[in-house]
Amino acid sequence: PPQAPPPQEDAPPSLGLRPEELAALRRENVSASFVGDDDGPDDDTTCVICQDTVLDDFTVMVLPCLHKLHTSCGTQWFVENRS
């Protein structure tokens, strides 16, 4: 007779934020005044995850520490990590 497949182990618990915690993070639309001048990126105009420049008319995630990051970068990061 055919053998039953071995029981699958439970997946490890997620280390990331729960969906409601992720949804509670503040979002903000970036304006030209936020992006600043043409002297190059600084802490206020750079995504803290990918280190790419945040562009005008872009929605960012704002952390309690006031770091700003692309919403897509933040979502991916916080699904896997709590901090």
pTM of the model: 0.66
- What is the pLDDT averaged over residues 1-7? 64
**CA 62 vs CA 6, 20, 70: distances in Å:** 45, 16, 9
pLDDT in tens, 44-72: 678 889 999 888 778 899 888 888 889 99
- As a whole number of angstroms, the distance between CA 30 and CA 54 comes to 8
- As a whole number of angstroms, the distance between CA 56 and CA 58 comes to 6
Cross-sheet strand order for the sheet of 68-70: 26-29, 59-62, 68-70
pLDDT at 27 over 90: yes
pLDDT at 43 over 60: no
